[in-house]
Amino acid sequence: MRHAAASLLLADGLPSIAVSAVLGHALTSTTLNTYAHVLPGSDRLTAEVMERLLG
């Protein structure tokens, strides 16, 4: 249930810091290292943001 909840919250766009707080992780990196696989398209989104900011 914990893994499912974290995965669903991240996949729906809840900020990782909020998910970390729900899970009780002291570091957001712990959350992202464990659940990053549920963030499909994050590479594309990063590229789009960088293009907008620098383009």
Choose among 4, 53, 47: nearest CA to 38: 4
Which amino acid appears at position 22 of this protein? V
Sign of the four-CA dihedral 16, 18, 23, 28 = positive
pLDDT over 90, % of the chain: 31
4: which 2 tokens? 């499912």
Distance CA 23, CA 47 (A): 29
**Tens-place pLDDT, residues 21-43:** 999 999 999 998 888 776 667 66
Distance CA 34, CA 51 (A): 28
Write down the domain spans for the chain: 2-54
Q: Are 27 and 17 in contact (CB under 8 A)?
A: no
